[in-house]
């Protein structure tokens, strides 16, 4: 069993989408739309964290209208889709909101997340993340991407802070 990182200072959760909030599967339709499946329990945890005063942000390299609608339906305000340089978006977000990087838990699953994960307080990933990402993560969820990994990490942080 892995030792738990010190979650006491976490005030902000930042997530990638594909492979973290979804299992990475894309259903491509003849209309050009690309559909994904999101886990409803992840959505509950996000809304609960927001209601308790945590910040939740999304930084994703892809930009799909359906994804934005899903994220907005969860009351997430800080949504950065189509991010070509995730580290730049991350640093600008922290600067704009006056957030200490040590107060951020970032969950990613693949190489485009690597740099951000090296600059946040706690780096986390789903159980099925790329090996290089698992190797640098301070917390590897027991759940896979799109199957409760987001819920797991939010619930763990909030319970340890006695805010769940």
Give the CATH number for residue 103. Answer: 3.40.50.1000
* Digit-coded pLDDT (tens) for 59-82: 999 999 999 999 999 999 999 999
Give the pair of three-digit tokens for residue 36: 């994904």
Q: Is 41 annotated as a binding residue?
A: no
Answer yes or no: is 5 within a domain. no
Q: Is 47 annotated as a binding residue?
A: yes
Answer yes or no: is 23 within a domain. yes
pLDDT surpasses 90 at 33: no
Answer yes or no: is 2 within a domain. no
Q: Is 16 annotated as a binding residue?
A: yes
pLDDT surpasses 70 at 1: no
Q: pLDDT tier at 10 (50, 70, 90 boundaries)?
A: very high
Answer yes or no: is 4 within a domain. no
Q: Is 110 annotated as a binding residue?
A: no
Give the pair of three-digit tokens for residue 113: 């997340």
Give the pair of three-digit tokens for residue 124: 């986390």
Q: Is 18 annotated as a binding residue?
A: yes
Answer yes or no: is 17 within a domain. yes
Q: Which domain holds residue 57?
A: 12-160
| Tally of domains within the chain | 1
CA distance 139 to 120: 13
Answer yes or no: is 154 within a domain. yes
* Digit-coded pLDDT (tens) for 85-124: 999 999 999 999 999 999 999 999 999 999 999 999 999 9
Answer yes or no: is 3 within a domain. no
Answer yes or no: is 147 within a domain. yes
What pTM was computed for the model?
0.96
């Amino acid at each position: 069993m892995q030792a738990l990182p010190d979650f006491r200072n976490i005030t902000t959760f930042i997530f990638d989408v594909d492979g973290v909030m979804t299992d990475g599967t894309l259903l491509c339709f003849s209309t050009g739309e690309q559909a994904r499946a999101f886990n409803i329990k992840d959505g509950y945890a996000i809304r609960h964290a927001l209601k308790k005063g945590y910040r939740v942000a999304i930084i994703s390299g892809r930009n799909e209208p359906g994804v934005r609608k899903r994220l907005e339906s969860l009351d997430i305000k800080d949504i950065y889709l189509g991010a070509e340089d995730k580290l730049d978006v991350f640093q600008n977000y922290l600067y704009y909101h006056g957030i200490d990087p040590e107060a951020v838990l970032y969950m990613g699953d693949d190489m485009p997340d690597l740099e951000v994960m090296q600059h946040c307080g706690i780096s986390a990933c789903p159980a099925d993340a790329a090996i290089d990402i698992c190797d640098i993560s301070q917390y590897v969820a027991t759940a896979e991407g799109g199957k409760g990994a987001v819920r797991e990490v939010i619930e763990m942080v909030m319970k340890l802070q006695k805010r769940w």
